[in-house]
Structure 1
Amino acid sequence: MAPDATASPSHRALARRLDGLNIYLVGMMGAGKSAVGRPLAEALGYRFIDADVTLAEAAGRPIAEIFSSDGEETFRALETSVLNGIASWHSLVVATGGGAVTRPENWGHMHQGVVVWLDAPEAELLRRLSADPTHRPLLDAPDPAARLEALLHERRPLYAQADLTVVQDAGLPAEVARQVLDALPSVLRDPRQPPGLPD
């Protein structure tokens, strides 16, 4: 763990302001949601949950198998069920699946917490995905780059509904986690601050 990702007094103060609100990381596959989520959770004293891993464990089979045997709609219904369960917990950093934003019900669950979009450039996403051996069913296409571009075009307006956008490029996960930590206060109200007074 990089030293700058560990808890500090300012991070503990931020955790108190969050008051148990879950943080949901959204973004395209390859945006680093799981990699960033771990140091972010550690800094806040939160637990980290990867929604895709939780879904696969609940279903008892890999996501790629769910896609191939039951189709994307069944997968999305399972994903919504998992997010519904997660929403009843607190003090979590949740890495969501790249397509979680496509269902309005999921936004209902995620907006109970703070939604952070990890926005990475298309070229960086493609570089990371090319180097990652994980099977991505939605990129099973003759031209994965064109498929990624189409998915980005479809999803960017949905990701933009997040409470906070952190634009990142090739930074290390701990550095991006630091960016999120630095930006979070901008979307939180200090509970001690009377309404109408400047921060």
Structure 2
Amino acid sequence: MQFSDGSSEVELRLKLGDRDIPSTRDISVEAEESSLAIRIKHSGSPMTLMETSCLYEKIKPAETIWYLDEDELVVNLKKQDPDLKWPDIVESWESLTVGVLQLLKGTSIYLVGDSTEINQKISRELAVGLGYTPLSTKELLEACAKETIDSWVIADGSNAVAEAERAILESLSSHVRSVVATIGGQNGAAGRANNWQHLYAGFTVWLSQSEAKDEVSAKEEAKRHIRDGQAYSNAEVVVKLGGWDAAYSKSVAQASLSAIKRLILSDKKLPGKKGLYIRLGCRGDWPNIRPPGWDPSTGADASSPTL
């Protein structure tokens, strides 16, 4: 199969080889917004040439065109977003790492959630895939303090650790092309709603360990967390984990990239807006960025419009 990306459409070319196709009526091309199935009848029996329920992005099914070109079946799919470059026909780990890297424009990613271990593991997967720098606030703090987080909590309490991590996040907020794994639970800054000022400098992903059994209950769970004032509900992306097995870390990383892709495509100005937020000093006014004269302590600014 050959794939090419055009300005407003993508093209597939599938070699039919020596298959005898007496009529185009023996070819079936079924296209939906996010799925594609291509089948032929060969020697009287149906044969699937390609089937996916996860195209890289949405298409316009009614504008799908296909035809035979000698020994190839050519399928043209019209993009819903003509400006988006498709690295491949399907959404996969490989296509997402290429595509999301282009969309991020250098913006960093922050991973939050109750498990420091999970945050670190997914951080490394994402960093390798994107070519970003993996960073762990736990490792940075332990290197500075020359003691473990657990012993630090015992000696000085979780508030001291959370405040130290907040300072680390402040220093990292100006970094680009990084994937930052934060400390999980109440020992970490991200578990406290008043410590999110510098997390907004990047795209935040909440790796949420969930008891939800399906998508509907997962959405209800997320709404409940927002109502309850759960600090992690400040995250722009939520990835629900129905358990944890390190062997599936790449699948979790892929789900994170897929969600980030959808978020940015919903507003392509977001990476630039993140950059502006950083340049103005990460004052805590995300997502309604105030003008340069805005004073976070008083709420006063030199002019009233938001940016």
Question: Is TM-score (shorter-chain normalized) higher than 0.5?
Answer: yes
Which segments of structure 1 move beyond 6 Å, counting only runs of 4 or more?
none
Aligned equivalents of 2:116, 2:165: Cα separation in 1: 18
Quote how far apart the aligned CAs of 1:190 are. 3.1
Task: Identify, as 1 or 2, the structure richer in strand.
Answer: 2
Read off the aligned partner of 2:170 and give its amino acid letter: N
Are 2:163 and 1:90 aligned? no
Aligned to 1:119, what secondary structure does the other structure show?
strand
Counterpart of 1:169 in structure 2 is 242
Answer with 1 or 2: which has the greater Rg. 2
Q: Does the aligned pair in 2 maintain the 1:36–1:174 contact within 8 Å? A: yes
Number of residue equivalences = 157
Are 2:263 and 1:190 aligned? no
Q: State the structure with bigger RCO (CA 8 A, min sep 6), 1 or 2.
A: 1
Report the TM-score when normalising by structure 2.
0.47
Quote how far apart the aligned CAs of 1:100 are. 2.1
The RMSD of aligned alpha carbons is 2.6
Quote how far apart the aligned CAs of 1:22 are. 1.1
Equivalent position to 2:135, from 49, 74, 79: 49
Structure 1 residues without counterparts, runs of 5 or longer: 1-5, 124-151, 192-199
Counterpart of 2:290 in structure 1 is none
Deviation track 1:95-151 (CA, whole Å, cap 9, x = no partner) reads: 11123224445311011110101111269xxxxxxxxxxxxxxxxxxxxxxxxxxxx
Aligned equivalents of 1:21, 1:53: Cα separation in 2: 22
Are 2:105 and 1:24 aligned? no
Aligned equivalents of 1:14, 1:166: Cα separation in 2: 16
Report the TM-score when normalising by structure 1.
0.70
Deviation track 1:147-169 (CA, whole Å, cap 9, x = no partner) reads: xxxxx9xx872111110101122
Aligned equivalents of 2:165, 2:119: Cα separation in 1: 16
Q: Give the share of equivalent positions with the same residue, in percent.
A: 29
Aligned equivalents of 1:7, 1:175: Cα separation in 2: 8
Quote how far apart the aligned CAs of 1:82 are. 0.9
Aligned equivalents of 2:255, 2:232: Cα separation in 1: 18
Task: Identify, as 1 or 2, the structure richer in helix.
Answer: 1
Aligned equivalents of 2:208, 2:252: Cα separation in 1: 11
Aligned equivalents of 1:158, 1:20: Cα separation in 2: 26
